[in-house]
Structure 1
Amino acid sequence: MGRAAMRVAIGGISHESSTFSVVPTTLDDFAQRALAEGPALIEQYAGTRTCPGGFIDAARDFDFTVVPTLVASAVPGGPVTAEATAELTRRLCEGLRWALDEGPLDGVLLALHGAMVSELDDDGERYILHRVREVVGPELPIVVTLDLHGNISQEMVDLVSAAVAYDEYPHTDTWQRGYEAGLLMARIVRGGVRPASALVKIPLLAGLQRQYTHAEPMLGIKHLARDLENESGILNVSYLPGFPWADIPITGFSVIVAAEGDRLQAQRAASRLAQEIWNRREQFVVQPVPVDEAVRRAMAAKEGPVVLADIGDNPGGGAPADGTVLLEALLRLGAKRAALAPIRDPEVVEAARAAGEGAVITVDLGGKTDDRHGRPLQVTARVVRLTEGRFTHTGPMSTGMTVDLGPTAVLELRGQRDGCVLVVVTTHRYQPTDLGIFRSQGIEPTAQQILAVKSSVHFRAAFGPIACEIIEVDTPGITNPRLDPAAYRKLPRPIYPFDRDLEWRIDL
């Protein structure tokens, strides 16, 4: 009797961890953002433009059965606690054991990140994959998807059959990469393809804003990667600029290439791309605009909206999303028709809900997590709107996924010279990657002169098409791109731009 249909387990644990955040990431943070097991995983991700959604659609198109285990992700923050790491990994491995008890598995597809730091291991993906290998053995094919902000180790690459990183930042291609991983799995299992991977690490700390893949320097790097990927025998070319706010020994730019059974070919392609990246190193340094200058430019613009990116307090990089420096400048300089999102402040939301819509409240807003993102602002505000803070992404990123901001309040703050700023105050952190952050709260973004968003790059996917101008604002905080070498202890040295005279060349 022949074997049953091809069976592939799917799952994943994903987190981008900042070692500079004072707030650890707990199991509750995963439960609040995304935590699904078994059949609920299929229900939550089927039809979404996500990596697990890509796995599911690839299974349909390439005729294999997916066996759901666990998918968990949390908003970027501090290192993942030992408890959360161990528990989530245990549940993922339990799902794999159950799948194996039901019958043989042909492979495992995992949606990982690449920049997860745990209290148990600076290389969180290594920790997870070691435990997975203990369950499924050393030979079963494992294909993983990775965020291009991943900080990658040789050990992680050695633990998988192949890695497929996102090509785009903003990450509008997560579904495509999940689908590509599913196709590669089908080729491995049914077509006898045997990937051989090479990793090249580049001593480069790349500013996040210059990792934007629709402009140089990343645009040319992306095009060269696609040219290399079109060469016969090359299965995948992944470029990962890395996550600079992780003080760990593997932080930096990585290139991973998988070739069909030929590690030397993979090494040559990876080396060629790595050298081109190094040649562009000076282009990865970010020079943001001072706060007051940015606000004045936005106010003086003939048309709106002008988008001000609060890049120092980006919750998508682990920041608290309660920084007040940009808001203070908007009020002090008298900005009109301005809206800002979000400020996370559960205490203020509670006060607004107690007072009710239309009420006027005096509160200390923001600045409560630490002293690195601005002080609390004492403001008198009118409560414009109260919501439960839930909406569904309709834009180009994570389309179809539901966002839970927690109870949310829209406050109207009056500034100098009859200025007016609408502020979306939330219970949970959220990086504005969808226009729904405003529209779900009754604010039409296209009607504003100024939109202030706490984001580094991801906002561009949704806000870029409506923006008359985008300004990267030099706000203080743990995601400010002006990196301080004195803050790092474990980072590999020498590394550019801290060591500007560094000479590096790879043998092609």
Structure 2
Amino acid sequence: MPDGYLAQKNILKLKIPFMKKLILFAVLFAIPFTALSLQMETKTDDYRVAVVRFSHETCTFCPGGDPGIEDWTHRGEPAVGEEVFGMSGYMRGFVSQSEEFGDINLIGLSTPRGVFGGTSRSWNQEEAFDHFVNLMLEDLKEAMPVDGVYLSLHGAMAVRNIERPEAEIAKRFREVVGPDVPIVGTFDLHGNEDEEFLKWADGAFVTKRFPHYDAFRQGQRASRYLRSVMRGTYEPTTASRRPPILTATVLQWTGQSPIMDVMERARRWEDREPGAYVNVFLGFPWSDAPTVGTSIHVMTNNDQELADEIATDMAEFIWRVRSDWAHGEYPMPEEAVRLTRQAIAAGETPVVLADYWDRPGDATWTLQELINQSVSNVLISALTDQPALDYIWEEDLQPGDAFDREVGGYTGEQAGSPVRIQGELVWRGSRWGYDRTAAISFGDGNMLLLAPGYQQNSTLASSRVGPVDPYDYDVYVLKTRVHFRRGYDETGYAKTIHIVDAPGDWFGTIRLEALDYQNVNIEEFYPFGNPEYDPAEK
């Protein structure tokens, strides 16, 4: 029973004059309705937060030309409104936490669905960047006033004539919302971000795991952080450091030391210092940006001294252990397949062969070696070959029809030579967000999955197409560096794993010194030079 109701009932029992009793009754009777009215008034004062996603990990050294507006709308026009809320793990985490608070109203701004070909695509056209950011800003202006902004970004986007795309996005949003509205972003740990983003935004949250298991969690953290800033209980002070280290992403697996230790150190600081947020970017070396490489970003609650202390400590630690994670050696395709045959003979299957360096996805070196060495029961998931898929549709091939055609090896020297596959079309249809994909059986129990763009299948479930059961195979060829560990390594499924190198100094390999960087001098980065570095330097 409500306390107010009991108080009203008890008044009637008091031995006081009737008029005084009536006045007291009226006052207490009004209290619950006054409280309800205040609650309703508070409900109308919910925080209004604009949310948007614009994410691309850009391989500027990849072939294929600069993607434009048509490439970003290949899968449909930009999402808007509630459709935006489910467009990434980061976004879903942010939305989930915001809805749990109950006092945040989200406004989904125009959001591109993703560029065709994903991370295999090169420089974005400035026209495309401006087009989509302008759509976002038009929506934002219509939604004003807002109390906060959330940007779901990547950190390694590259755009012609725009040196720092993510920081530029934050700057343009800041120009609309003014100096007092907090802006926060989430990022992939492969981002190339210097201190410029935090010049325009109030916070950055970066995944601490690769594979990125914590994308949802970082979105949640961003929501909690943004709300605390909007409420006035958190006053951001930030610090950034940039140790001159440049590494290939295959070396950035957080499941092994010392990268595991770096991320644990960041978490330890967050545990020890309430209100501290510690973020580490490991960089994306195939984006020829002036900000490429490793960086640390720290946020604290009105404590600049602490922010600087943490940033310096993290930079010192990373610099101290740099030699333990900046190098790697992997077998070439011929040796990797020979080792695979040995594993099969020893019963050490399943075997994963990860073509870590093949960013376009059409390289045939490993496929050719498997054929040369007569390896059976192989699933290739997946090879990029849009011309082969166009051929299947143009010839109207149906499951059961013969397939006799060269595949792969068409984007450049690094892709190797096309390989002739004589087999049978098993399945054709839409998969992985593409309208045209296919499965071709060939040789002794082998299966080739075809995609029109780079497709990184990190789990067994993602290789299930039509009647193809991914669990039926002994050997898996994957176009991936680390994400495959999600489904094949950390589950205990694969007994043998070989990271396969490329027989050349091409983009995608750990041999970054062979690339023609235009915006940085690679000799100013470890391990390609011997730069002097002071971790305390801002």
Q: After TM superposition, is the score higher than 0.5?
A: yes
Residue 472 (structure 1) aligns with: 499
In terms of mean alpha carbon deviation, does 139-148 or 128-137 score higher?
Answer: 128-137
Picking from 281, 289, 295, the partner of 1:240 is 281
Residue of structure 1 aligned with 2:261, choices 213, 220, 227: 220
State yes or no: 1:357 paired with 2:368.
Answer: no
Contact 2:85/2:108 (<8 A) preserved: no
1: CA distance, partners of 2:533 / 2:164: 25
The CA deviation at 1:204 is: 0.2
Contact 2:377/2:475 (8 A) holds in 1: yes
Deviation at 1:37, TM superposition (A): 2.9
Residue segments in structure 1 that go unaligned for 5+ positions in a row: 314-318, 390-402
TM-score normalised according to structure 1 size: 0.90
Mapped contact 2:507–2:515 kept (Cα < 8 A): no
Which residue identity does 1:481 align to in structure 2? Answer: I
**Larger strand share, 1 or 2:** 1
User: Retained in 1: the 8 A contact 2:355–2:478?
Assistant: yes
Give me the whole-angstrom Cα distance separating, in 2, the residues matched to 1:39 and 1:143: 19
5 Å-filtered alignment, 1:33-432, equals: 36-42=78-84, 44-45=86-87, 50-63=89-102, 64-72=104-112, 73-74=114-115, 75-76=118-119, 77-100=121-144, 104-283=145-324, 284-301=326-343, 302-313=347-358, 319-353=359-393, 354-389=396-431, 403-414=432-443, 419-432=444-457
* Matched-pair contact (CA < 8 Å) for 1:299–1:450: no
Q: Is the partner of 1:251 in helix, strand or coil?
A: coil
Structure 1 letter corresponding to 2:464:
R
Residues 377-411 of structure 1 deviation map (CA, whole Å, 9 limit, x = unaligned)? 2332221222222xxxxxxxxxxxxx313311111
SS of the residue corresponding to residue 183 of structure 1 reads helix
Which is worse superposed, 369-378 or 264-273? Answer: 369-378
* Offset from partner CA, 1:265-319 (integer Å, 9 cap, x none): 1111011111111111112212121111111212221132111101121xxxxx2
Residue identity in the other structure for 1:69: L
Match for 1:238: what amino acid? N
Instruction: Determine if the alignment matches structure 1 residue 16 to structure 2 residue 57.
Output: yes
Query: How many positions carry a matched residue from both structures?
Result: 479
The whole-number CA distance in structure 1 between the counterparts of 2:430 and 2:536 is: 57
The superposition leaves residues 437-461 of structure 1 with CA deviations (integer Å, 9 ceiling, x where unpaired) of 3212433333211100001111211
Q: Letter of the 1:303 partner, please give it.
A: E
Query: What is the rounded CA distance, in whole Å, between the counterparts of 1:251 and 1:349 in structure 2?
Result: 36
Three-state SS of the structure 2 residue aligned to 1:385 is strand
The residue that corresponds to 1:31 in the other structure is 73
Q: Check conservation: 1:384, 1:412, Cα contact below 8 A.
A: yes
Amino acid at match of 2:350: P
Q: 1:388 to 1:273 in 2, by over 3 A?
A: same
Task: Work out which of the residue numbers 477, 490, 498 in structure 2 matches 1:452.
Answer: 477
| d(CA) in 1 for partners of 2:477, 2:279 | 32
> Residues of 2 paired with 1:234 and 1:192: CA distance?
10
Per the alignment, in what secondary structure is the counterpart of residue 140 of structure 1?
A: coil
- Is the Cα–Cα contact under 8 Å of residues 113 and 147 in structure 1 kept in the other structure? yes
Given the alignment of the two structures, is residue 437 of structure 1 paired with residue 462 of structure 2, yes or no? yes
* TM-score, normalised with respect to structure 2: 0.85
Structure 2 Cα separation of the partners of residues 173 and 58 of structure 1: 14
Amino acid at match of 1:436: A
CA distance in 2 between partners of 1:486 and 1:294 (Å): 25
CA distance in 2, matches of 1:462, 1:94: 41
Cα distance in structure 2, aligned partners of 1:421 and 1:84: 41
Contact persistence 1:320–1:344 (CA under 8 A)? yes
Does the 8 A contact of 2:93 with 2:217 survive in 1? yes
TM-fit CA distance, 1:236: 0.9
Q: Which residue of 2 aligns with 1:397?
A: none
More contact order relative to length (CA 8 Å, sep ≥ 6): 1
Distance 1:140 1:112, change over 3 A: same
Q: Which moved more, 1:488-497 or 1:458-467?
A: 488-497
* Aligned mates of 2:399, 2:267 — CA distance in 1: 53
Gaps of 5+ in 2: 1-40
